[in-house]
Each structure stands twice: as structure tokens, then as C-alpha cells.
Amino acid sequence: MSKENTPTPHIGAKYGEIAETVIMAGDPLRAKFMAEKYLENPVCFNEVRGMLGFTGTYNGKRVSMMGHGMGMPSIGLYTYELYHFYGVKTIIRVGSAGSIHKDLHIGDLVLAQGACTDSNYADQYNLDGMFAPIGDFDLLRKAAEFCEQKDFNYKVGNVVSSDLFYRENPNTKGWMNMGVLAVEMEIAALYMNAARSGNKALGILTVSDHILTGEVTTSEQRQKTFTNMMEVALSLI
């Protein structure tokens, strides 16, 4: 950790302005929505590139909320700086995902135990084989227990973090055959950054569309109505 590296070129906060636990969303407006809805006395610590970030308190505990953008390069950049330069210990991603499971529909939750990927993000580590990015078990267990208490419809398992939204030759069936629950674009990089820095991370997703049935939601719904996953994330603070 290097305090003198703050602010960074991408995050305008000074060291100490970001809490040790950060809840992140791809859409910075979702981060703003969460901060205004759940935090007491939220203070904006970042507006650089429109990637809004806020710090406040929730039930007396200090927490930050911030956008991370779309794709593994974007979340990889922000979470690297948070872990390495700002002393962040835990990052929880709340985001949307496309279901590829017959029993997961619009509004259902996915707790990402692991994250497959078609990205070469792990190449930087010079490993002799394939790395399996996984979430923090303690956070995962607590999240599942909270879902049970609230009677949320959820599943725990693998997701696939894809580099491509518009794929020339999609192979959804291949991932389905391996028991993968949903497709998203960031969690694998988050889990790798957490592992490399010795910190914690968990991805909590809401099904926003179903790749098999064609079910979809609007951008406004994704921004403002997926509150169950936000409550799960806040239960982990």
C-alpha cells in the first residue's frame, strides 16, 4: 500500500476518504442511488471520468460506494487502486447478469462462488496453469444466510465473466453444460485482484435478462429497482 500515490489519475480521493469496505456497481448512477438511499451523510469522494464514489455510514459503520464501469479492464483498474493505494480490505460487486439457468429469472439473485472467464487477465501472473477465481467464503456464507432469512430466490455457483457483450459466435450451451449460472463481465478480474492483494471480494448479481427465454429489463429498472442485492451487500458490512 502506498499512501503517497493518492489521489490517483482515476480516483480523486485522498487517502482516508474511502472506507475499508467498498460496495461497487458497474453503473456510477447505481452507486449514487445506493449512497442516497442507504447511507447517512454520504460525501462524494470521486467524480473523475464520471465514476462517482461516496463515503458515509450504514448502521453506524463506515462504508463507501462507487462505480467500476463495464468490463474487466475497468473494474481491474479501479479495484487495483482501491486495494493497493487506499487500504481497502473488502470489495462487494453488485451488478446485473444474464441468466443461462432454467430456474433463474428476472430479479433472482446469483451469489458468485467462482468466476470462469474467456479473458486473458490472468496472464499477467505468469502461472503454470489456469487460475480459478473464487469469492471469499465468509462473505459468501453470510450472504447466503441473509438470502435465506429474507426468503430471496437465489443460487450459489459459477458465473462466467466475458470480455465480449456482442459475440460473433456465442457458445452459451457450452457454459450451460458446465453448470454455469449466469453471464456478466467483471467478477473474474475482481476476484483475481483480491487474491493477488490478499484481500476479500464477493460478487452479488441480479438477473436482468434471460439469454434463453428473452426476458429483459430496462436500464432504469437495473439502476433503481434491484434493491435485494444491495440489502444483501449491506448485511455484510
Q: Which residues, in sequence order, are CB contacts of 237 under 8 Å at separation 6+?
A: 21, 58, 59, 61, 63
- Distance (Å, whole) CA 13 – CA 234: 22
Q: Which helix (H) or strand (E) holds 191?
A: helix 187-197
Rounded to 5 degrees, φ, ψ at 93 are: -90, 130
Query: Rounded CA gap, 165 and 185, in Å?
Result: 8
Residue with cell 449460472: 181
Integer CA distances (angstroms), 184 to 73, 131, 165, 220, in order: 14, 18, 9, 18
Cell numbers placing 172? 452459451
Among the options 27, 108, 136, 209, which is catalytic?
A: 209
d(CA 207, CA 190) in angstroms, rounded, equals 19
Residue 33 three-state SS: helix
Q: Is 128 a catalytic residue?
A: no
What are the φ/ψ torsions at residue 148 (nearest 5 degrees)? -65, -45
Q: Which residues are identified as catalytic?
A: 209
